[in-house]
A and B are shown apart, each in its own frame.
Chain A
Amino acid sequence: MGVSKFLISRALNMVLVLFATIFITIAIVGPTMDTILKRSIEIEVKASILQSKEVMIAFKDPKDLENYIQLQVRNAIESLGLNEPWYSPRRLWTVIWKLITLDLGQSYYLRSYSGSGNVREIILEALPRTILLFTTATILNSIIGILLGVIIARKSGSIIDKFASTFAVVSNSFPLWWVGMIMIIIFAYTFKLFPARATPLIPPSDPNYPLALIHHMILPLITLILIGFGGWTYVVRNIMIGVLQEDYITVAVAKGTPERKILYGHALRSAAPPIITMIALSSSGSLGGAIITEAVFDWPGIGRLYWNAVSVLDIPVIIGLTYITTIVFLISVFIADILYSVFDPRVKVG
C-alpha cells in the first residue's frame, strides 16, 4: 500500500473515531443536559409571562394561567426538540450537524472577554493561549530531551546516565500542578520574581497585553519544562539504546562513520518515527492535561475555561471543548502518521 493510500485510510479512521467520541460525549452528558435545559426553559417562559401585565390580566382564574404556562413551556420544549430523548436520530443528527459546521451554539453562563456568548468565540479566544504555553513547552522539552537523551544513551550506565534517569523518573512522579504550587511559593511568594497568578491584570484589549501575557507565562513554562524534560530524555534514551544495539550501528562504526554522525544520523534518524509520534501526541495530549495546570497558575486558556464550564455546568461549552480537544488530538495523530511515513521509508500498513 502506498503512502497516499495509507494516509487516506488513516484520515477515514480519524473521522470514525471523531464521531464515536462525539456520540460518547453526548451519551454521557445528554440526560443531564436535557433536565437542565428543560428547567431553564420553564423558568424563562414563566418569567416572560409573569412579567407581561397584559397576559396576566387576560387570565382570571390562576388555574387557567397555570395551564397556559404549561402549554407555553411544552411548545418551547417541542420547538427545541427536547420532547424527544437525546438519542433520537433527529436530535443526534442536529447535534452532529452543528458540530461538523462548528456551530457550537450559545453558552449558558460563560462569556468571552468581549462579552459574547457564542461558544465557538469563547473557545477560540482561549485556545491560542493554551497552545502558546503548552506547545512552546512541548517543543522546548522535546529539543532538550532529544539532545540530552542522545548524549546519555551513548553513555548508558555512566553516572550522568544514572543521574538523568533518576531525575526523569522522580520528576515524573510529582504531579505537575503540585510542582506548580511549589514554584509559586518559591518564585512568587519567597523571591517575588514572577506574578503568582498567570492571568495578566490588564484587559486583553490593552496593546501591552501580549507582553504581559509572556511575562506571566514564564513561571508556568519553567514548571512545564522542569517536570517534562526528564521524561522526554528518558524515553529518547531508551529508544536510542535500543537502536544503538542494532547491527547496522555496529556496521556503521566498522565502516568508520564518525561518532557524531552515527548518533545524530544513523541512530537518531532510525529512532525518529516513534519520537515524532511522541511529539505530536504529547503536544495535543497536553491540552487535556492543561485543565489542572491552568487552574493552578490561573492561566486563561482552554483548561481553565473547561474548569469554569464544569463548575457552573455550562454544557454547551463542555461539549464544544471536548469536541475541539478531540479534533486537535486526532489531527495531531494524523500529522504524526504523515511524519511517520516521511521518516520511515518502510511505512506500509495493511
Chain B
Amino acid sequence: MGEIYNLIGLLSSFKAFWDEYKRYKIGILGIFLLIILIIISISAVILIPIDTFKQWHNPAYWTRYPKAALPSWINYFTNTKLPEHLILKEPLVMKSESGVIQIFNHIYTIQFNYDTFPDDFIFNYLIKYKGSPPLFELSIIRPDGDRLLLIITTLPPKPFNLEAYTFNGSIYSTDRVIRSNVAHYLSERIGESISIMDIAPQFVIFSEKPFKLDSKVLKGTYTFNATFYTFDKDDQLLTSELIIGGKVFGILGTDELRRDLLIGILWGTPVALFIGLSVATLAVFVGIVYGIVSGYYGKRLDEIMMRINDIIYSLPALPFLIILAISFGRNILLVVLYLTVFGWVGIAKVARSMALQIKTLAYIEAIELIGASKWRVMLKHIMPQITPYALASIALSVPSAILAEAGLSFLGLGDPTLPTWGQILHDAQLYGAAARGLWWWIIPPGVMIAITGLTFVFIGIAMDTVLNPRMRKI
C-alpha cells in the first residue's frame, strides 16, 4: 500500500520518471534498438517500392533471382570465392548507322574472379521496331581473347495489325542454339565432337584451357556483346539486362523461391512493429479499463467479470488462435484482434489488483466523500496512477504478441498478402531448410524476431524496475 503510493509519487512527472529510467543501461539499450528498428522500418517503406512487397508471394516476380543463394559476404570468409549473382542493367551503349541500317550495341563487361562457375546466364532485352524484324547477335570475348558467337538470330516479324512492335526477348544459357554453338567451339578446341546434350555452356565459356572436366575457372574480364541490326530509322533498342546466375546474392541471399530475403526481412520490420505495438496497446487498454471497472465497482460485477477473465485465461491460446484463423480468416487486422483477445486477460488481473489497492488508499475515499462521481474517481483518480504501469506492460506485451504472430505465420496462418518473418520461416520449414543446412534462410528472421522482442523487453524491464520498488536497489 505504501509502496504503491510512493511509486505514484515518484512518477508524478515525466521528468522524474525519465531521470530514474535513464539510470538503467538496459533501458537505454532498448531505446537505442528501438530507434534502429524504426529507422529500418522507415527506410524499408521509403526505399523498397510497395510493389515489391506485394509481389512477395508471386513466384513469377522472382524468376530473375537465383535459387537459394548464399549471402554474398560469405566470400570474405571462405577460400573458394563463389560467383555473385549479377543482374546487370547498365551496358555500354553504342549506336552506329549505315544507310537505313542502325546497329545497336549493348556491351557488358564483367570481372569474373570467382572460384566456381556461374549457374547460368540470361540476357533480356526490350526492342521496338516498325520495319523488318531486326537481326540479333550475342557474342562473348573471354579473358584469353577467344571470341565465341553464342547466337545469331532474327527476331520474330512484326504482327500485321500493329504499327510498332515492342518485343521482349530472353536468351537463356540453356537455349539449344547456344549449347550447339558452344559445343562447336569446344570440339574445335579439343578436337573431339561433343554432343550438345552434354554441354552446359557456362562450364565451357568460363573454363580454363584445356577444357577438361576438372578445369578451373578462367578468371578475368569477360565481355558480352549484344548487337542488334534494325531496318527502320525509328527502331529502338530500349533496354537490356544481363543476368549471370551466381551462388551468392545480396546481403541476405535468397530462398528456395528465389526471393531476395533482404526485402522480406526489411519489410517484416514495420509489419512486426505494427502487430506487436497494436496488439500490446489494444490489449493493455482493454485490460486496464476492464480491470479498473471490475476492481473499483467490486461485488457482484467484479465476480462476474473475473469469472469471464478466468475462462479466457483457461483457454489454450494457440489452438484457439488456429481455430479462429481458420474460421474467420487471417487478415492482419483480424490477427491483431485474435491476439488481443488472448492478450488482455493477464493485464486485466493486474490492473484489477492495482485498482483494488488504490481503492483502499484513503484519498479515493476522501474524494468520494467530497462527492465525486464514480466516473470522476475512475478517470481522474485511479486511471492516471495505473498509466505508468500500462506503459510498462505495453512494452512487455509486445514481444509475446510478436512471438505469437510469428508462431501463427509459421504455421501458415499469417496474412497471405504481407511478408512477415514468421512466414519466411514457414517457407523455410516447408522446404526443409534446416535439414538441408540453408542457414541464411533461417537465422535472420529468427534473430530479427528476437531483437525486436528484446528491444521491448529491455525497455519494459527498465520501466518495470523503475515502477516496481521491490525490484529496485535503493
Contacts and interface: CB of A to CB of B under 8 A. Distances in A.
The answer to A–B direct touch (Cβ < 8 A) is: yes
Interface of A: 13, 16-17, 20-21, 24-25, 28-29, 31-32, 157, 169-170, 172-175, 177-182, 184-185, 188-190, 196-197, 238, 241-242, 245, 285, 287-289, 291-292, 295-296, 306-307, 310, 313, 318, 321-322, 325-326, 329-330, 333
Contact of A185 (B315, B403, B434): B434
A329 B316 contact: yes
Contacts of B436: 189
27 contacts: A21-B314, A24-B315, A24-B320, A29-B327, A169-B454, A170-B450, A173-B399, A173-B450, A173-B453, A174-B449, A174-B450, A175-B410, A175-B446, A175-B449, A177-B407, A181-B428, A181-B433, A181-B442, A185-B434, A185-B437, A185-B439, A196-B434, A289-B318, A292-B411, A295-B429, A310-B323, A321-B319
Contacts of A330: 314
B283 interface: no
Contact of B310 (A17, A28, A322): A17
Given A32-B327, A190-B437, 15 more contacts: A173-B449, A173-B451, A173-B453, A175-B407, A177-B407, A182-B442, A182-B446, A184-B435, A185-B442, A189-B437, A295-B411, A295-B429, A296-B434, A321-B319, A325-B319
Interface string B425-451: 100110001111101001101100111
Central interface residue in A16, A291, A330, by most chain B CB within 10 Å:
A291
B238 interface: no
Nearest to B432: A196
Interface string B297-341: 000000000010011001111111011101100000000000000
B94 interface: no
Interface residues of B, number: 45
Nearest to B438: A185
Contacts of A292: 318, 407, 410-411
B401 to A, nearest CB: 13
A28 to B, nearest CB: 5
A173 to B, nearest CB: 4
B434 A322 contact: no
Contacts of B425: 177-178, 181
Which 3 residue pairs are nearest across A and B when measured between Cβ atoms?
A288-B316, A178-B446, A173-B453
Contacts of B457: 169, 172-173
A309 to B, nearest CB: 9
Given A28-B327, A313-B326, A322 B316 contact: yes
Nearest to B453: A173
Contacts of B407: 175, 177, 292
A126 to B, nearest CB: 14
B473 interface: yes
B471 A238 contact: yes
Interface string B72-113: 000000000000000000000000000000000000000000
Contact of B322 (A285, A306, A333): A306
B327 A291 contact: no
Nearest to B314: A17
Interface of B: 307, 310-311, 314-320, 322-324, 326-327, 399, 403, 406-407, 410-411, 425, 428-429, 433-437, 439, 442-443, 445-446, 449-451, 453-454, 457-458, 461, 470-471, 473
A157 B473 contact: yes
Contacts of B439: 182, 185
Contacts of B454: 169-170, 173
Nearest to A156: B473
Given A173-B454, A189-B435, A242-B470, A322 B446 contact: no
Contacts of A333: 314
Nearest to B439: A185
Contacts of A29: 323, 327
A177 B410 contact: yes
A279 B450 CA distance: 25
B318 A288 contact: yes
Contacts of A190: 437
Contact of A184 (B327, B434, B461): B434
A173 B323 CA distance: 25
Contacts of A169: 454, 457-458, 461
B449 A196 contact: no
A291 B435 CA distance: 19
Contacts of A310: 322-323, 326, 411
Contacts of A296: 429, 434
Nearest to A13: B310
Contacts of B320: 24-25, 28, 322
Contacts of A322: 316, 319-320, 323
Given A17-B314, A170-B454, A181 B446 contact: yes
B406 to A, nearest CB: 6
A31 B320 CA distance: 15
A81 B237 CA distance: 71
Contacts of B470: 242, 245
Contacts of B446: 174-175, 178-179, 181-182
A189 B310 CA distance: 44
B449 A178 contact: yes
Central interface residue in A178, A190, A241, A288, by most chain B CB within 10 Å:
A178
A296 B430 CA distance: 10
A17 B407 CA distance: 26
A180 B442 CA distance: 11
A21 B324 contact: no
A184 B471 CA distance: 38
Contact of A189 (B429, B434, B458): B434
Contacts of A291: 318-319, 322, 411
